[in-house]
Structure 1
Amino acid sequence: MVVNVKKIGGISLATALLTAMHSYAGAETLRLLTWGGYAPEDVIAKFEAETGHTVEVTTSNNEEMIAKLRATRGGGFDLAQPSQDRITSAQEEFGIYKPMDMSKIKSDLFIPSMLSATAANTTFKGDVYGLPHVWGTSGLVVNTAQAGNVKDYTDLCDASVAGKVSYRLKRPTLIGFAYSMGMDPFAAYDDADAYQAILDKVEAKLTDCKPNVKTYWSGGDEIKNLLRSGEVVAAMAWDTGGWQLNADNADITFVAPEAGALGWIDTFVLPARGRADQAAYDWINFVMQPEIAAMITNTAGNFTAAVDGDAGVTAELKARYQNSFDQAAIDNIKWYPPVPAGLEALEGATLDRINAAK
């Protein structure tokens, strides 16, 4: 019997089908625990089409990610994206991650300095646990027409903006105010007594500042709406939110504080009991490609650690970034180091007292 085999692009249909079946035989469901904007629908669609994997996304934040993984002892997800300063302490306390197999990573896709810095900051007992993905800063988002004098964190307590200020009751606020008050909280990370002394001074300042605060915001949409409406004219918030607002109102923008913006890097980590490691590595290598990284930046508003990842970013976003950060402001960014185990308990107690103060 003679079988006619149709050719497609020089490859027989039978071969193409066998190849497809082989590639999809290893297909997995990737359960991704990440931040809003880091896994856009168009990126997921391209990834699923190219790999055969499927992606289930759960959006979260640092505290919730750690809480979810702690509750399941590292189960329920295959890839998570906490900030780099939340990895070694969580691993030491809870054992919720597993080491990265660097042989499965296309390291040439990453900006070398960010890859090495994140590796150093996420190494625990000789193993690397984190890879850099998205980075950005928190600082000030200001309506410059109404609060042009707000240049640093402590300016949020100035009488000129009384009742029209907002910030989160979270650790970045404690750290930003400490720097603005002339202290170096990161240098005190390894000395609990010294760090508590800094927290005590910041607590007194933020308690005195309470009459200035319209509300303590908790979500990005909330603070953007408060700034849009004019209820708030100055806030401590993320750079991307300021740039998004600037697109609609030229008076509102992100301002790098005189004491230094606080720099963060959100990472890729493998939960200890994840069951789709190959899909996780495939996703990492896929989204770090320059053209995919640009798609994520255009959605999330923050830049990535991908080599040439800014090439496809919109001209408007690049311009807003450059207006907020001259070279001196970039050099003055205070990058979060790893958080020592137990430090957040001190901060949590301080934040609780500030919240409860009359």
Structure 2
Amino acid sequence: MTILKKTTVSRRKVLKGAAIAGASTLAAPAFIKNALSSSGELNVMMWSDYLPEEFKEAFKKETGITINHTGIGSNEEIINKLRATRGRGFDVISPTNMRAQQWEPLNLLQPFDMNKVKIDRVNAAMAKVGETDWNFAGKGSHWLPQLWGTEAVAWRTDKWTPEGGVPSYGDLWKDGGENTMMGRPHSMMLGAGLYMETIGELAPGDVKRAYNSEDDMKDVWSKITKFCIDRKANVKKFWNDADGQKNGLMQEDVIMGQTWDGPILALKGEGNPVQYQAPKEGALAWVDGLAMPKGAKNIDQVYAFLEFSFRPENGGLTANLTGYNSAVVGADAHLTEQSKKNFAEAYPGDSLDNLFAWPAEPTWYAQLRTEFRDKFVAA
């Protein structure tokens, strides 16, 4: 499903088609009153930089609920941790939109009670992903959108400038770039594949063809893996989370890399000499959401968290502090000028029309990709 189709460089256009958010000043429904009366805590397993202290403090001040945040750096971590606990220990988790096929057979999630969710407050196209891809066994949505973002090219502006002002995934793998770049293994391999399509080492569309069958996957990714192994000397470090990306550019002499938007734009907003920009081949786009494990204990607190998170002012607060983009309708009205500037510079020209939306990933695809990834890392 295509969920991020753009026409101009603005978050407002990205979120077009969503309904206007309801007024946040209406009387609190019963489940919110229950959460407020019990206060307590909420156990959240979420990407490491998605819950800024300012957000958690504001939520606790209003509700009395303490957020216990377990930070993660990959979807595999979320799946593995929840499998190990059989769905217990966490009230909210944050899987990425294209991972539905991996979650459904695990039977570890429960559907949301949509009577308790103000779904008109979030982007309609993104919410539809939950209604379709994450509607397990016809029981309703098991996933709600929270933040969207991309993975593209980042660099130190005081050490490198892309030719013509527009980077390419190929810049990371070029001759003479030994020990200069970083990336997350499986996604930098996909980026390499998109570059290979442009130079004739893969046919146009091969990267997407790999999602069709195991044979297609093996055919395409064997070529990608060889390409990356042959140029592995360029890799200075592999990162796994937001801090790893920040540290690479600011403390570990990395010059360029394939990174998420949030960590680098947060650095840029602090005045550091870094840039993040969609490459010629297209930035990799995703939507991270919210899901509720079967073993969740603090149910009223979950819905209080959703109500708070889906207010435009809080969506804007999260976007400003993290560098990612809120799925909440009206959040863009609460962005700082720096956030708006960072967004425009990250996606110049037709960049938003050229996004590569991560396709839905079957379990077999993820398993095979791990084998190719491990071969690359171990080489």
Instruction: Tell me if both proteins adopt one fold, taking TM over 0.5 as the criterion.
Output: yes
- The sequence identity of aligned pairs, in percent, is 29
Equivalent pair of 2:209/2:216 in contact (CA under 8 Å): no
Secondary structure in 2 matching 1:231: coil
- Give the alignment partner of residue 183 of structure 2, picking from 136, 151, 167: 167
- Give the alignment partner of residue 71 of structure 2, picking from 47, 59, 62: 59
Secondary structure in 2 matching 1:128: coil
Deviations 1:30-66 (A, max 9, x none): 2111122322333333323433433222111322111
Secondary structure in 2 matching 1:337: coil
Residue equivalent to 2:366:
344
Query: Are residues 1:108 and 2:120 paired?
Result: yes
Measure, in 2, the Cα distance between the counterparts of 1:45 and 1:154. 42
Measure, in 1, the Cα distance between the counterparts of 2:56 and 2:266. 23
What runs of 5+ residues in structure 1 fail to find an aligned partner?
A: 1-19
Measure, in 1, the Cα distance between the counterparts of 2:181 and 2:34. 58
Measure, in 2, the Cα distance between the counterparts of 1:323 and 1:57. 31
Stretch moving more, 223-232 or 345-354: 223-232
Query: Are residues 1:91 and 2:113 paired?
Result: no
- Give the alignment partner of residue 186 of structure 1, picking from 179, 192, 208: 208
Query: Are residues 1:40 and 2:55 paired?
Result: no
Query: Are residues 1:154 and 2:170 paired?
Result: yes
Stretch moving more, 284-293 or 110-119: 110-119
How far is the alpha carbon of 1:276 from its aligned partner?
1.8
Decide which structure has the larger Cα Rg and report it. 1
- Give the alignment partner of residue 198 of structure 1, picking from 220, 229, 244: 220
Return the letter of the residue paired with 1:146: W
Equivalent pair of 2:210/2:218 in contact (CA under 8 Å): no
Q: Measured at CA, do residues 21 and 79 of structure 1 come closer, stay the same or move farther in structure 2, by a change above 3 Å?
A: closer
- Give the alignment partner of residue 177 of structure 1, picking from 192, 204, 220: 192
How far is the alpha carbon of 1:130 from its aligned partner?
0.6
Residue equivalent to 2:305:
283
- Give the alignment partner of residue 142 of structure 1, picking from 141, 149, 155: 155
Q: Measured at CA, do residues 21 and 148 of structure 1 come closer, stay the same or move farther in structure 2, by a change above 3 Å?
A: closer
Equivalent pair of 2:316/2:331 in contact (CA under 8 Å): yes
How far is the alpha carbon of 1:230 from its aligned partner?
7.5
Residue equivalent to 1:17:
none
Q: Measured at CA, do residues 23 and 104 of structure 1 come closer, stay the same or move farther in structure 2, by a change above 3 Å?
A: closer
Residue equivalent to 2:16:
none
With CA pairs under 8 Å and 6+ residues apart, which has the higher RCO, 1 or 2? 2
Measure, in 2, the Cα distance between the counterparts of 1:224 and 1:137. 16
Q: Measured at CA, do residues 55 and 207 of structure 1 come closer, stay the same or move farther in structure 2, by a change above 3 Å?
A: same
Stretch moving more, 208-217 or 183-192: 183-192
Measure, in 1, the Cα distance between the counterparts of 2:273 and 2:52. 29
Secondary structure in 2 matching 1:161: coil
How far is the alpha carbon of 1:157 from its aligned partner?
1.2
Deviations 1:236-293 (A, max 9, x none): 1111233234346675201201111001111010101112222112211211101111
Measure, in 2, the Cα distance between the counterparts of 1:223 and 1:121. 31
Equivalent pair of 1:88/1:123 in contact (CA under 8 Å): no
Measure, in 2, the Cα distance between the counterparts of 1:308 and 1:231. 39
What runs of 5+ residues in structure 2 fail to find an aligned partner?
A: 1-31, 198-204
Equivalent pair of 1:147/1:233 in contact (CA under 8 Å): no
Stretch moving more, 123-132 or 288-297: 123-132
Equivalent pair of 2:210/2:221 in contact (CA under 8 Å): no
Measure, in 2, the Cα distance between the counterparts of 1:257 and 1:282. 39
Return the letter of the residue paired with 1:75: R
Equivalent pair of 1:133/1:267 in contact (CA under 8 Å): yes
Residue equivalent to 2:132:
120
Equivalent pair of 1:88/1:124 in contact (CA under 8 Å): no
How far is the alpha carbon of 1:21 from its aligned partner?
9.5
TM value normalised by structure 1: 0.86
Equivalent pair of 1:99/1:129 in contact (CA under 8 Å): yes
Residue equivalent to 1:8:
none
Q: Measured at CA, do residues 28 and 226 of structure 1 come closer, stay the same or move farther in structure 2, by a change above 3 Å?
A: closer
Secondary structure in 1 matching 2:360: coil
